[in-house]
């Protein structure tokens, strides 16, 4: 663990990364609500998470709140991964780094969508639309584009932090 801490980039600002991830997730969620209205495809990441929780939280309201908390926490974690590990290795200006991160994340996980369609309880029961479809893919392209761009812009430019005394 100490080795990982020593290898972190000097420009990593964990607090700023967490807030940027939170802000990017808020924008992602707004885009999600908008694209559902415009496309008629009502795939929701929060409902997806809620379905994975099963009976962990009994009342549906508790499951929904926990799903939202996990959705936001995921954004915070992605903000930290972006800032500490990925951003220093990406080429180009800030906006391009964000675009590459957002769409790169989608490319890294999209191959799992047939498994989600086959095993996710809400998809199997028809309560959520299938994920491995062109409409869902288009929605996810847009959502992750918004997430990546907002994350990068909120996190900001690379600046060296002054060394600690």
The CA distances from residue 106 to 87, 112, 158, in Å, are 16, 10, 24
Vertex 81: Cα angle to 138 and 123 (nearest 5): 40
**What integer pLDDT is reported at residue 159 of this predicted model?**
58
pTM attached to this predicted model: 0.86
Whole-number Å distance between alpha carbons of 94 and 11: 14
Question: What string of DSSP letters covers 19-64?
Answer: HHHHHHHHHHHHHHHHHHHHH-----HHHHHHHHHTTSSSSHHHHH
**What integer pLDDT is reported at residue 54 of this predicted model?**
79
pLDDT digits (tens, 9 = 90+) for 44-98: 999 999 999 876 667 777 888 999 999 999 999 999 999 999 999 999 999 999 9
**What integer pLDDT is reported at residue 157 of this predicted model?**
78
Place of tokens 């799992």: 112
Beta strand extents in 46-155 (DSSP E only): none
Q: Where are the domains of the chain?
A: 11-155
Higher pLDDT, 10 or 62: 62
Two structure tokens written together for 101: 């991160």
Residue 125 has pLDDT above 80, yes or no: yes
pLDDT digits (tens, 9 = 90+) for 13-40: 989 999 999 999 999 999 999 999 999 9
């Amino acid at each position: 663990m100490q080795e990982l801490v020593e290898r972190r980039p000097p420009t990593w600002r964990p607090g700023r990364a967490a807030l940027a991830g939170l802000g990017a997730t808020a924008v992602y969620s707004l885009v999600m609500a908008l694209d559902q209205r415009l496309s008629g495809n009502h795939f929701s990441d929060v409902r997806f998470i809620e379905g994975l929780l099963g009976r962990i939280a009994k009342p549906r309201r508790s499951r929904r709140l926990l799903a939202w908390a996990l959705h936001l926490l995921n954004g915070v974690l992605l903000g930290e991964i972006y800032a500490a590990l990925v951003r220093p290795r990406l080429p180009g200006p800030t906006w391009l780094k964000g675009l590459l991160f957002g769409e790169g994340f989608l490319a890294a996980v999209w191959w799992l969508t047939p498994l989600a369609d086959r095993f996710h309880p809400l998809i199997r029961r028809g309560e959520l639309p299938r994920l491995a479809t062109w409409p869902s893919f288009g929605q996810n392209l847009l959502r992750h584009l918004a997430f990546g761009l907002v994350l990068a812009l909120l996190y900001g430019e690379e600046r060296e932090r002054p060394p600690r005394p």
